[in-house]
Amino acid sequence: MKITEIIDEEYADATKKDGEQIALTKTSKTFQEIHKLYLFWLEDSYADWGFDPWSCFYAEKMLTENRKEELYSMEDITNFCFAIKKFEEHKKFKESGAFLSALINVHYEKTKSSKEYILVTEHLQIPLDELCSYTKGANILVQGNGGTNACNQIKKGRIHFTGSVGRSLCSCTTGGTVIIDGDCENNACFGMEETNLLIKGNAGNSIGYSTSKKGKIIVNGNVGKYAGHFCYGGKIHIKGDAEEEAGSQMVEGVLRIDGTCGKNVGSKMQGGKIFLNEYESISGDIKKGKIYCKNKQIYPQTILDRIWQHIRKE
């Protein structure tokens, strides 16, 4: 039996209740085709791989190889966000963000549309993982929140969340612009390259971990521990407060903190620059790099500072 026949058969069973066929609210052929493929993807063993990219890539393969009708529309994608609500109790539902990402990726590859794709999640109780991930240039507006691994490995395009997102935002991205109106959890921007990220709320621990090249991160609120940890390049601007060990093991790049910074700033720092306004303490094991407070260099001390310190001791 061909995969398309299996999907048709499973879809017929899945859309029945007490033996009676359920009438779908959206009746376009392309919309029903998406619905069929989603049900098959949701039950397939590949979807068990969770946050790994294969669940998204597998969905893309299904959408490409098994599409019988004409290409679905951008409106179909938006409408489908409402259709998945009834599957919230499914054990794999949170991975549905990968399927929505695949819908956009396949459509964009075919059309190269410059219009904004609209995803709606504000009606969902469970945040969707991998939302807007692996995109290659699409402009996307998400009306609501996202879960873990949002916007991972994007190459270009503009993505805007009106809500908050979970951990591991923008991992291994190589371009594009991402705007988060709310907060984000830990480990945002791991391995990020040449992406512009604006978080209007707060961020968790380890924001900017191992970022490199020309990426730029702005957080309007506060952040947790280890901001800019192992940063290899780019610029990180925290407009609020930062907890302890900001700039730890930093190699290159610029970290600016406008608020108050916790203790042990620059722990094992190997390079780069840190600009502070107020801080609790500077680490005693800095290897290299420069730290400024209120635009005055405080590490390493200048010759004049060392002379003045010597005079004061005498």
Does residue 301 contact residue 293 with C-beta atoms inside 8 Å?
no
Q: Tabulate helix, strand, coil % of the chain (nearest 5).
A: 30, 25, 50
**Pairing verdict, β 16-17 and 20-21:** antiparallel
Q: 253: left (phi > 0), else alpha (psi -120 to 50), else beta?
A: left
DSSP 263-309: SSBTTT-EEEEEEESEES-B-S---EEEEEETTEEEESPPHHHHHHH
Total Cβ atoms within 10 A of residue 282? 19
Q: Over the stretch 150-193, which tens digit does the pLDDT of each residue have?
A: 999 999 999 999 999 999 999 999 999 999 999 999 999 999 99
**Beta strand extents in 65-125 (DSSP E only):** 116-120
Express each pLDDT in 42-64 by its tens digit: 877 554 544 455 678 888 888 88
Most confident of 18-27, 264-273, 302-311: 264-273
Given the structure tokens 């999907």, which residue do they identify? 7
What are the DSSP E strand ranges found in the chain?
16-17, 20-21, 116-120, 139-143, 158-161, 177-180, 196-199, 216-219, 232-238, 252-257, 260-261, 270-276, 278-279, 288-293, 296-299
For residue 217, give the nearest of 177, 185, 249 by alpha carbon.
Answer: 177
Residue 312 CA to its chain's centroid (Å): 51
User: Scanning the structure block, which residue is given the tokens 């930062």?
Assistant: 242
Report the predicted TM-score, pTM, of the whole model to 2 decimal places: 0.87
Provide the residue ranges of all domains of the chain, joining segments of one domain with +: 79-313
* SS3 state at 170: coil
Given a cut of 70, whether residue 14 has pLDDT beyond it is: no
